[in-house]
């Protein structure tokens, strides 16, 4: 601590508190407060002490320079805050991007043109691949395209229904029924 260094140097130079106070231009009480580490000399006073004791400011203050330590801590804290803000910004930006994508996909898939599906009256119940399924063809009221409720992906793939967007719903359903019956399935007759 600086107080111990002032005491040590003052005694080494055979000065009492009053003599040192007079050389620096402060009161004896000020010297006492410095030595008790109750207060510290300002920069000009520390420079005068260094000159009187014929030592460097670093030696007077000690190996650790309090001002430099505070600057280092401030720099370190600033760097940490900057990293934290960058990380938070990237995370927040990513979350907003994901949210916008999810909302966009939701609206695109559920409310595109605010159309609704209407039944064409074309549907059959069939037993195929060990399960009973309803095969229904719907028309999209907004743009007159077709929609299929077909659980078996093999039917969709083999009949290339991914590419069928329009057409006669009854003809498409007849193709599906024929495919099921040709591959060992059974469809109920229409009522």
Q: Tell me: pLDDT of 159 over 90.
A: no
- Amino acid 17: pLDDT: 94
pLDDT tens track for 161-182: 766 667 777 788 888 888 889 9
Contact indicator for 135, 176 with CB cutoff of 8 Å: yes
Distance, in Å, from the CA atom of 142 to the CA atom of 162, rounded to the nearest integer, reads: 19
pLDDT tens track for 78-109: 888 999 999 999 999 999 999 988 887 877 66
Higher-confidence residue: 155 or 39?
Answer: 39
**H-assigned helices in 54-168:** 57-61, 66-111, 153-158
**H-assigned helices in the chain:** 2-12, 17-24, 28-35, 43-53, 57-61, 66-111, 153-158, 169-182
Distance, in Å, from the CA atom of 175 to the CA atom of 168, rounded to the nearest integer, reads: 11
Bridge partner residues of 140 (DSSP): 117
Highest mean pLDDT, choosing among 32-36, 69-73, 99-103? 32-36
- Amino acid 115: pLDDT: 42
pTM above 0.75, yes or no: no
Compute CA distances 116 → 40, 87, 110, whole Å.
81, 43, 9
**Looking up tokens 């600057």, which residue turns up?**
71
Contact indicator for 31, 49 with CB cutoff of 8 Å: no
Tokens matching residue 154: 């093999």
Task: Name the DSSP letter for residue 67.
Answer: H
Where residue 62 falls (left for φ over 0; alpha for ψ -120 to 50; beta otherwise) is left
Q: What are phi and psi of 165, to 5 degrees?
A: -110, -30
Q: Tell me: pLDDT of 112 over 50.
A: no
Tokens matching residue 150: 């077909």
Distance, in Å, from the CA atom of 53 to the CA atom of 190, rounded to the nearest integer, reads: 113
Lowest mean pLDDT among 17-21, 25-29, 160-164: 160-164
Highest mean pLDDT, choosing among 52-66, 108-122, 173-187? 173-187
Average pLDDT on 34-53 reads 93
**Looking up tokens 């077709």, which residue turns up?**
146
> According to the CATH classification, is domain 2-63 in 3.30.365.10?
no
pLDDT tens track for 125-153: 888 888 777 777 666 655 556 666 666 77
The sheet with strand 186-187 has its strands ordered as 146-149, 131-140, 117-128, 186-187
- Amino acid 19: pLDDT: 94
Domain ranges (residues) in the chain: 2-63, 68-114, 117-187
């Amino acid at each position: 601590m600086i107080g111990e260094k002032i005491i040590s140097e003052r005694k080494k130079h055979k000065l009492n508190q009053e003599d040192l106070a007079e050389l620096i231009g402060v009161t004896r009480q000020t010297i006492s407060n410095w030595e008790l580490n109750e207060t510290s000399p300002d920069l000009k006073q520390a420079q005068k002490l260094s000159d009187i004791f014929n030592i460097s400011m670093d030696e007077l203050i000690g190996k650790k320079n309090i001002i430099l330590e505070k600057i280092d801590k401030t720099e370190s804290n600033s760097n940490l805050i900057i990293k934290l803000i960058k990380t938070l910004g990237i995370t927040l930006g990513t979350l907003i991007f994901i949210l916008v994508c999810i909302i966009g996909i939701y609206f695109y898939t559920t409310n595109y043109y605010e159309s609704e599906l209407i039944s064409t009256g074309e549907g059959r119940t069939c037993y195929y691949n060990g399960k009973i399924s309803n095969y229904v063809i719907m028309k999209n009221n907004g743009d007159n395209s077709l929609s299929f409720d077909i659980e078996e992906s093999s039917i969709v793939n083999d009949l290339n229904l991914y590419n069928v967007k329009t057409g006669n719903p009854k003809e498409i359903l007849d193709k599906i029924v024929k495919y099921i019956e040709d591959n060992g399935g059974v469809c109920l007759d229409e009522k």
